Structure 1
Amino acid sequence: MTTPKKSLSILLQLWQFVTPYRGTLVGAAVALILTAGVTLSIGQGVKLLIDEGFVAQSHGALRQAVFFIIGLSLLMAVGTFTRFYLVSWLGERVSADLRKAVFNHVVSLHPSFFESNRSGEIMSRLTTDTTLLQTIIGSSFSMALRSCLTFVGALILLLVTNLKLSLMVLVCVPLVLLPVLLYGRRVRRLSKRSQDSIADVGSYAGEIIQHIKTVQSYTREEHERGAFGKEVEAAFVIARQRVRQRALLIAVVILMVFGAITGMLWVGGNDMLAGRMSGGELGAFVFYAIMMAMAVATLSEVYGELQRAAGATERLIGLLNVTALIPPASDVPATDDLAPGGDGPILALEALSFHYPSRADAAALSDLALRVKEGQSLALVGPSGAGKSTLFELLQRFYDPQQGCIRLRGVDIRELDTGWLREQIAVVPQQPALFTADVWYNIRYGKPDASDEEVIAAAQAAHAHEFISALPDGYASHLGEQGTRLSGGQKQRLAIARAILKDPRILLLDEATSALDAESEHHVQQALEALMKNRTTLIIAHRLATILHADTIVVMDQGRVVAQGTHRELLLSSPLYRRLAELQFKEPEVPTREQ
């Protein structure tokens, strides 16, 4: 079993986020020490109040003691304000920095990471876990330090005030701390389970909301209510166990602490009646004993919070420590090295073999080889699962092949800077990705510094300007989550406008006109043909009519190239292509060899 010391050691990983704000940390520490010292000094004011004021019945001494306590209270208020502000600011700042660090790292991770990690769980770590740490750093941690200082200071003053009663305190302290250590382990385990269960709830809800139209079209609302209710109840059961353990811990500590104080009052009261100590000394001793008791009670409660923080930190640091399988290369080749020209292929795929990390037993590509010349249009056709989309992902280096390589102008793309490589490519996917922002933002996504005139020109080229102008706010219209305010064809034309604006060297079209009606498809096909001119273009096509004029058509099946040529050549040479053509064209023209 993991010891508490090891459990909490994960919190040291947060120190790297605190060190940039050493000045704030020092200021908070000074205010913390001042506040603790002033609080302990009030005990001496209590002693003066009783011995010099009440017992001696001196109005002057009573007035001095009261003013002394008031002055200390003002100092304590100022110190508390300073400490609370600085520590709370530090908690917010560290939480924000940690959230940014995790997000910055997550967006650089390889796609296979997201195959095995749900987006809802990642969002929970970015929000719930960082918010918990903000509370810990901005409140609980300073409370723990203050309680430690108060405990040590009160113990020293107890020894000075009365040695016999202090020895009783020292005997009682280990008995009070024992349940803190025992129950703290359980609290930490339950806290981690509770955070995981909350992440599950958020992930489930996010998935249902994302697919709400499907849920409602299949009238599964009642089922999803019940399923979500079960997720929530499971999280509640774990949270209830955690709360019960913490409540039991606090109750045991309070019982033992105030039981010990009662015992000391009885012993101290007898000593005062016997004349072995003054009433002021007993009052001061009781004050310090209560301060110690409050410190121990606070520590027991904060210990549980620190255990929760350890669980949250473990999850966040785990994300930060994930190593990207596709690291950016440090040596970026000069642009001239890859400039157009020459008879060699711009793209060369050499003996590619690849399987997805989550499906290691099934090859997506097997010994695939292709050459693509500068400015050539190459279409990929074949049944579903043939490896066409996988090839696009390898070209963008979302994955690296297990065997073989892809060369851009003779250079292995694994030797290129990944960002630079992707800047050379624009993709128009079958399902376009739009962001919850306005039209300007979505079209500019591939070229953020583009002028308004360039954006409008790209939209016109994609035949999108007319419907954009008809939106309530034109190009400033927000599109809703995933572009829900647009039709499928309108989304596709925005994606095409984005690719046109980027003006890439290599264009990847994944059935880019699939969502368009006949008239829009005609106009967009013309725009694409203009965009494809003198540009290397790879096209995934399920509808053969859209790629009849491609320079080369490659037929793929089960991750291999089984044939390539022009449309007429493949009708003669490829049974698979001929069958696809027969399915799509009622009366395909099958040329004779004499033709």
Structure 2
Amino acid sequence: ALGTALPNLKYFSEACTAAFKIFEMIHRVPEINSEDMTGEVLEKVSGEIEIRSVEFIYPSRPDTVILSDFSLIIPSGKTVALVGSSGSGKSTVISLIERFYNPLRGEILLDGMNIQNLQIKWLRTQIGLVSQEPALFATSIYENLLFGKEDATMDDVLNAAKASNAHDFISQLPDGYHTQVGERGVQMSGGQKQRIAIARAILKHPPILLLDEATSALDAESEKIVQEALDKASMGRTTVVVAHRLSTVRNADIIAVVQSGGVIETGRHEEFIHKPNGTYAALAQLQQVSSKNEQTPTNSISMSITQASITPANILTAKSSRHGSQGGSERSSQSRRIFPEQENPDEEENNKTEIAKKRSIPSFRRLLALNAPEWKHTVLGCMGAIGYGALQPAYAFTLGSMISVLFLKDEDEMKQKVKVYCAIFVCLSMWSFMVSFLQHYNFAAMGELLTRRIRLMLLRNILTLEIGWFDRDENSSGALCSKLGTDANMVRSLVADRLSLLTEAVSAVGIACILSLFIAWRLALVVIAMQPLIITCYYTRNVLLRNISKKSIKAQEQGCQVAAESVVNHRTITALCSQDRILRLFDSTQEGPHKEINRESWYAGLGLATSQALTILNWAMDFWYGGKLIHQGIITSEDLLKTLFVLIRSGRIIADAGSMTSDLTKSADAVDSVFTILDKNTLICPDDPKGIKPQILEGNVDMEKVDFAYPARPNIIIFQNFCLRVKAGSSMALVGQSGCGKSTIIGLIERFYDPQKGRVNIDGKDIRSFNLRTLRQHIALVGQEPTLFVGSIREIIAYGKEDATEAEVIEAAKAANAHEFISCLKDGYYTNTGERGMQMSGGQKQRIAIARAIIKNPSILLLDEATSALDSQSEKVVQEALDRVMVGRTTVIVAHRLTTIQNSDCIVVIEKGRIIERGSHSQLLSKGDGGAYYSLVTLQQQNHLPSP
């Protein structure tokens, strides 16, 4: 028993190492414990907040002071707006009020009580937060809203959705409030995600409301309606608004201008406007100039237009006869992306083929082929396994011989032979040490190298797959991380452990059978005849365990997805006090498979118990038959002992192999999962050797009669017979309601997707004829939500150009208005941005992303809300930089803010996936009240121009 247990000690060692890290995290007592139920609870919250002489630095950047002697009083029931440049500390104030962090010095008071003395969970239930980048979870819209208030009724949910202008588009979806939003809300447009997040905050009915750029992702019409809803929601509540657009804060009771971590001005909008030398007045003047630039020379759009004349209803009425409603545009277009798909025959056949591949486990020979570079380790490991396998029957034979010696009548002969056999045992122990070391070291080294290679191959293939593949639920980030982490390691277990065990078992059983047949062939045949029955029991157990393993892997992937989302969105979860809800979601992913696993585990246990019982019954029959042969004088007692010990020892090896069937089953399923990805051929190959590799592009873009639907929603048409032409060196702006298809055009030009019909041409050639990697080197994209990788700012900017010099990086940063704030950081360009750029403000992240695009020096520039996160001053400077960069380049701009596109050569208005207007800014405005673009500009001017 000890000999059987000792080899398994390595698993205890591995478990202890893993458990140390796990328990270290479990037992860690956080400085701010969300589950700490101590602290006071106020009977009534009036909502007065006082920030008194606060100094703050982020723990990850202890040398950079964010707030210094920051003081501000936020009266109860009033709206206080924080304005200032990106990185000035506005969002940090929000985080401190939410108590995501504690200040280094100073204090924050709620109704005169230091918030550090209040029960933290209760405190956060009194606060509603809507952030700049809305966080949605991979569940239904209804479930997402319930994160705001778990016991909310359906009427509460409907009222909150209506107040945030979300009810209409939700109602148009086939599953309504039960529509799945996808991972991180990927099935929703930016504006739709933001409105759901606002509804979630409104549902909470908090006495304190924190709005951090809550309307930044909305188009003009939606922004106006949502802003009105927020204004209503703010009534009677203490509201803190962080905003770059002064139009969203001009009605605030108090406006605080934040600069360099302190408050430099406080007052009302009307007071600031009459201080020409004030910082706020300068910001207002800057935005006023931008807005005035939208007006026609004849002032056909006057700020004297009455509120009634530009209501959404009137705008829609003016256009309904020709174009239908803008709201309908958004709903129908977005519905196309969310409606459940019905599989077409081709895709269904492809799915069946993929399922067939998944069910066909890769051959062991193919797995060994992956280990070809480690052939030396493989050969040496197999030699060790053969040697260790041969040791087992040799040891059993020696043991049987020695026991028979103990029955000798001659004591001298007995002593002499005992000494000989003891010497043999010593030799066997030395042999065991050498071959065991040779076996386990080489197979372990081989396995680790294989794991590394598998992970690299997996990641390489994942990165080449088309974007549509990632839209599927089974290919979520959590599931893919599980494959890279756990499944790749399981492949090592299958190859290294299986090959080691197989070689050892074949060696031991083969030698044992030959030796036992030589000693007593009659008895040996009886013993050997029973082995197939035992092996059948193990095989049955293996089949049952395989079914269990598949369910376990599926549950693990779903659980990983929930865990991954909870980590990524931990701020939102913390603000909503939804830790318990997330734990229930995580537990629910395990519940279904858990019941099935329990049922099948009974059968698996029965198979193992039967095999163990048959083994013992086999011994009983062997001793009975052996005794009969001795009685008949056919064999001696020494022959009986030698034969049984040799075969029983080999039977133990079979039993050990059987006990590993559960691990091997899990490994086999992991291999199945891994090779499904490795064998997946991308529909959009980035490295087609036959593709055209252009050295330079003119930049002509032409979409010819394009039909397109997202692969995950094949029956929901986005474009039908869509045509668009962008001349080389010109700029084209795409405007329209959220979800009308603007960003889809960007995706088609980048060839994230291929159209079902029609062509996308660049310089007169079908985009599918290019080598995609080379083509994308001439295209730069700046998205609405900037994606920064973990690393230094310099590394992130240099992603745009691999061989970028220090001077080029700095020049690009200057052009994007990023150099100044980067230089103020302690480590400058070598400052780590954190995961997903968490150490940077929204505006800072966007400027770094713009610098990354500028350094690429592209022929085609794609800007998808590239300046949406910037304050007015930064937006002006960055827009000027982009205007300079756009000269001589083909530029496609997607924007809600019309100030960013008024200088474009051509503006295209899109509705319901079709072009309804096109022309220059002045040409479209000249159409007057009947024009869609005119209506958008009119509405946006009313929203954005600060009142004098």
Q: Same fold (TM over 0.5)?
A: yes
Specify the code of the residue in structure 1 equivalent to 2:919.
G
**What is residue 853 of structure 2 aligned with on the other side?**
499
CA distance in structure 2 between the partners assigned to 1:185 and 1:204 by the alignment: 29
Contact kept? 1:427, 1:510, Cα under 8 Å: yes
3-state secondary structure, aligned to 1:436: coil
Greater displacement, 550-559 / 236-245:
236-245
2:436 is matched with 80
2:712 is paired with a residue of what secondary structure?
Answer: helix
How far apart are the structure 1 equivalents of 2:671 and 2:697? 47
Match of 2:638 among 251, 268, 280: 280
Picking from 131, 149, 164, the partner of 2:507 is 149
| Amino acid paired to 1:203 | Q
Q: Which moved more, 1:265-274 or 1:217-226?
A: 265-274
**Is 1:358 aligned with 2:712?**
yes
Shift in CA distance, 411/272, structure 1 to aligned 2, threshold 3 Å: same
- Residues 693 and 775 in structure 2, CA contact (< 8 A), matched pair in contact too: no
- Does structure 1 residue 414 correspond to structure 2 residue 773? no
Match of 1:445 in 2: 799
Superposition RMSD on alpha carbons, in Å? 2.5
| 2:377 aligned residue | 24
Aligned residues: 580
Shift of 1:554: 1.4
Shift of 1:580: 0.6
1:307 CA displacement: 2.5
Q: Does 1:220 align with 2:578?
A: yes
Report what 1:129 is aligned to: 487
Distance 2:682 2:693 in 1: 25
Counterpart contact for 2:562–2:582, Cα < 8 Å: no
Partner of 2:326: none
What SS is found at the alignment partner of 1:23?
helix
- 1:311 and 1:432 map into 2 onto residues whose CA distance is 37
Aligned partner of 2:671 in structure 1 is 313
Shift of 1:229: 2.5
Deviation at 1:237, TM superposition (A): 4.7
Taking every aligned residue pair, what percent have the same amino acid on both sides? 32
Are the counterparts in 1 of residues 907 and 921 from structure 2 also a CA contact under 8 Å?
A: yes
Distance across 2 between alignment mates of 1:587 and 1:54? 106
Could you report, residue by residue, the CA deviation over 1:410-429 in whole angstroms, capped at 9, with x for unpaired residues?
A: 22111110001111011111
Residue in 1 aligned with 2:452? Answer: 96
Aligned-partner Cα distance in 2 for 1:541–1:267: 89
The match for 2:934 is 578
Match of 2:841 among 472, 487, 491: 487
Residue 73 of structure 1 aligns with an amino acid whose one-letter code is S
Asked if the contact 1:13/1:317 (under 8 Å) is kept, the reply is no
Given candidates 286, 291, 307, the residue that maps to 2:649 is 291
- The whole-number CA distance in structure 2 between the counterparts of 1:178 and 1:333 is 58
Superposition deviation, residue 570 in structure 1: 0.5
CA-to-partner distance for each residue in 1:323-353, whole Å, 9 max, x for gaps?
A: 21112432343646x554xxxx722222222
Q: Residue in 2 aligned with 1:70?
A: 426
- 1:237/1:587 Cα in 2 relative to 1: closer, same or farther (>3 Å)? closer
> How far off is 1:189 after superposition?
1.1
Seen in structure 2, the aligned counterparts of structure 1 residues 124 and 582 have a Cα distance that, compared at 3 Å, is same
Structure 1 residues 192-201 or 307-316, which shifts more? 307-316
Native 8 Å contact 2:401 2:641 kept in 1: no
SS of structure 2 residue aligned to 1:359: coil
Query: Aligned partners of 1:229 and 1:386: how far apart in 2?
Result: 38
Q: Distance in 1 between matches of 2:364 and 2:498?
A: 13
Partners of 2:931 and 2:816 lie apart in 1 by 36
Q: Give the CA deviation at 1:516.
A: 0.7
Native 8 Å contact 2:908 2:915 kept in 1? yes
Of 604, 609, 614, 1:251 maps to 609
The equivalent position to 2:689 in structure 1, one of 330, 336, 339, is 330
Letter in 2 for 1:39: Q
1:48–1:280 CA contact under 8 A, matched in 2: yes
Residue 181 (structure 1) aligned to one of 529, 532, 539: 539
- The one-letter code matched in structure 2 to 1:93 is L
Amino acid at match of 2:621: G
Partner of 1:38: 391
Partner SS, residue 195 of structure 1: helix
Letter in 1 for 2:843: G
Deviation at 1:176, TM superposition (A): 1.4
- Aligned partner letter, 1:157: L
Q: Structure 1 residues 242 and 82 mapped into 2: Cα distance closer, same or farther (>3 Å)?
A: farther
2:367 matched to which residue of 1?
Answer: 14
Q: Deviations over 1:489-530 (max 9, x none)?
A: 111101111111111111111111110111111111121122
Q: CA deviation at 1:24?
A: 2.6
Match of 1:567 among 896, 921, 940: 921
Deviates more, 1:77-86 or 1:278-287: 278-287
Change (3 A) 1:494 1:7: closer
How far apart, in 2, do the equivalents of 1:173 and 1:468 lie? 72
User: Which residue in 1 is equivalent to 2:554?
Assistant: 196
2:743 is the counterpart of 1:389: yes
CA contact (8 A) 1:54 1:62 kept: no
Q: Secondary structure at the match of 1:364?
A: strand
> SS where residue 204 of structure 1 aligns?
helix
Q: Which amino acid aligns with 1:333?
A: I
Deviation at 1:186, TM superposition (A): 1.1
- CA pair 327-466 structure 1, distance change in 2 beyond 3 A: same
How far the C-alpha of 1:136 sits from its partner, in A, is: 2.4
Deviation at 1:204, TM superposition (A): 1.2
Q: Which residue among 748, 753, 763 is the counterpart of 1:399?
A: 753
**How many Å separate the matches in 1 of 2:685 and 2:360?**
32
Q: 1:476 to 1:236 in 2, by over 3 A?
A: farther
Measured at CA, do residues 175 and 126 of structure 1 come closer, stay the same or move farther in structure 2, by a change above 3 Å?
same
The code of the aligned residue for 1:516 comes to L
Structure 2 residue identity aligned to 1:131: N
Q: How many Å apart are 1:153 and its aligned residue?
A: 1.9
Return the alpha-carbon distance in structure 1 between the equivalents of residues 693 and 366 of structure 2.
39
**CA contact under 8 A between 1:140 and 1:305: conserved in structure 2?**
no
One-letter amino acid matched to 2:884? A
* Corresponding letter in the other structure for 2:722: L
Structure 1 match to 2:125: none
Structure-2 residue corresponding to 1:593: none
Name the structure where helix makes up a greater proportion of residues.
1
Judge conservation of contact 1:582–1:588 (CA < 8 Å) in 2. Answer: no
Structure 2 CA distance for aligned equivalents of residues 317 and 9 of structure 1: 7
The worse-fitting range, judged by mean Cα deviation, of 285-294 and 36-45 is: 36-45
Identify which range, 246-255 or 567-576, moves more after superposition: 246-255
Deviates more, 1:346-355 or 1:429-438: 346-355
Q: Give me the whole-angstrom Cα distance separating, in 1, the residues matched to 2:608 and 2:541.
A: 10
Whichever residue aligns with residue 444 of structure 2, its letter is: S
Q: What runs of 5+ residues in structure 2 fail to find an aligned partner?
A: 1-358
Q: Cα–Cα, structure 1 residues 362 and 230, in superposed 2: closer, same or farther, change >3 Å?
A: closer
Per the TM alignment, residue 267 of structure 1 is displaced from its structure 2 partner at its CA by 4.0
Quick check: 1:438–1:475 contact (8 Å CA) kept in 2?
yes
In the aligned structure 2, how far is the partner of 1:519 from the partner of 1:495? 18
Letter in 1 for 2:715: D
Q: Structure 1 residue 524 and structure 2 residue 878: aligned?
A: yes
- Determine the C-alpha separation between the residues in 2 that align with 1:403 and 1:204: 37
CA distance in 2, matches of 1:588, 1:163: 98
The separation in 1 between residues aligned to 2:792 and 2:553, in whole angstroms, is 35
86 and 207 in structure 1: CA distance in 2 versus 1, 3 angstrom threshold: same
Q: Secondary structure at the match of 1:555?
A: strand
Work out the CA distance in 2 between the residues paired with 1:86 and 1:532.
Answer: 58
Residues 1:304 and 1:451: Cα distance change in structure 2 (over 3 Å):
same
Distance 1:571 1:225 in 2: 54
Asked if structure 1 preserves the Cα contact closer than 8 Å seen for 2:732 and 2:908, the reply is yes
Q: Kindly provide the amino acid, as one letter, of the partner of residue 453 in structure 1.
A: A
AA partner of residue 359 (structure 1): R
Distance 1:491 1:245 in 2: 56
CA distance in 1, matches of 2:851, 2:373: 43
Per mean C-alpha deviation after superposition, the further-off stretch among 200-209 and 468-477 is: 468-477
* Aligned equivalents of 1:223, 1:440: Cα separation in 2: 40
